[in-house]
Amino acid sequence: MKVEIYTDGSARGNPDGPGGYGAVLRYIDPKGQLHERELSQGYKKTTNNRMEMMAAIASLELLRRPCEVDLHSDSQYLVKAFNDHWIDSWIRKGWKRGKNEPVKNVDLWQRLLKAMEPHKVNYIWVKGHVGNELNERCDQLATSAADGNDLLEDPGV
């Protein structure tokens, strides 16, 4: 099954304010019918990067069987980690980067890797805030979640 996912994250007062993520998942069934689902959640205190990652994690964790996934994100942090193989280097170095500094958000990187395991995921960078309909919808979902009342704790902050 081929799935198209768009994701976005938002943080108000990054790095210590409320934040949220939004995602839109789409696939076309064998009969040619489009199915679409939206996800969002807000957090009391988080960062933009963590919300960008949570959008991808929540989307992939929702899939119930192995899929081919095109995951679209305006987060260079997320996309380059895979397309430029940063994550491979971080793992090889025991979750260290650059000058032996610890990689940030290891808890979410590990969770994302686990969520990816059954799938073939292709990360695609999209420029944000330029009128891409699905990226704009994810931004609306993320900011609404960040501004909402049903905010969770982010244990990694």
- Segment-wise mean pLDDT, segments of 10 residues, the chain, 157 residues: 96 88 96 97 96 98 97 97 96 92 96 98 92 94 96 92
Q: Checking phi first, is residue 17 left (phi over 0); if not, alpha (psi -120 to 50) or beta?
A: beta
Active site residue 20: no
Active site residue 52: yes
Q: What pLDDT does 15 receive?
A: 77
Asked if residue 116 is part of any domain, the answer here is yes
Active site residue 29: no
Asked if residue 115 is part of any domain, the answer here is yes
Q: What pLDDT does 140 receive?
A: 97
**Tokens read off for 29:** 């069934």
Grouping H, G, I as helix, E, B as strand and the rest as coil, residue 47 is: coil
Structural domain span for residue 49:
2-152
8 is in an annotated binding site: yes
Distance CA 122, CA 140 (A): 24
Active site residue 74: yes
Asked if residue 95 is part of any domain, the answer here is yes
| Total tally of structural domains belonging to the chain | 1
Asked if residue 157 is part of any domain, the answer here is no
Active-site position among 13, 38, 129, 153: 129
Active-site position among 22, 52, 72, 154: 52
In this structure, what CATH number is given to the domain that contains residue 113? 3.30.420.10
74 is in an annotated binding site: yes
Distance CA 97, CA 68 (A): 30
Is 0.85 surpassed by the pTM of this model?
yes
Q: What pLDDT does 148 receive?
A: 95
Q: What pLDDT does 25 receive?
A: 98
